[in-house]
Chains A and B, each alone.
Chain A
Amino acid sequence: NAGVTQTPKFQVLKTGQSMTLQCAQDMNHNSMYWYRQDPGMGLRLIYYSASEGTTDKGEVPNGYNVSRLNKREFSLRLESAAPSQTSVYFCASSASRGSNYGYTFGSGTRLTVV
Chain B
Amino acid sequence: KQEVTQIPAALSVPEGENLVLNCSFTDSAIYNLQWFRQDPGKGLTSLLLIQSSQREQTSGRLNASLDKSSGRSTLYIAASQPGDSATYLCAVSQRRGSTLGRLYFGRGTQLTVWP
Could you tell me which A residues sit within 8 Å of B by CB distance? 31, 33, 40-43, 45, 48, 50, 58, 90, 92, 94, 96-108, 110
Contacts and interface: CB of A to CB of B under 8 A. Distances in A.
A90 B46 CA distance: 14
Nearest to A31: B101
A102 B34 contact: yes
B72 interface: no
A92 B46 CA distance: 12
Contact of A50 (B43, B101, B106): B101
B102 A100 contact: no
Given A43-B105, A48-B102, A98-B101, A104 B32 contact: no
A90 B95 contact: no
B61 interface: no
Contacts of A100: 31-32, 51-52
Nearest to B49: A102
Nearest to A104: B46
Interface residues of B, number: 25
Contacts, number: 58
Contact of B107 (A33, A40, A99, A108): A40
A108 B43 contact: yes
A25 B1 CA distance: 29
B44 interface: yes
B44 A105 contact: yes
6 contacts: A31-B101, A42-B105, A50-B101, A97-B100, A100-B32, A102-B49
A42 B32 contact: no
Given A94-B101, A105-B43, A99 B31 contact: yes
Contacts of A107: 42-43
A42 B43 contact: no
Contact of A42 (B41, B46, B101, B108): B108
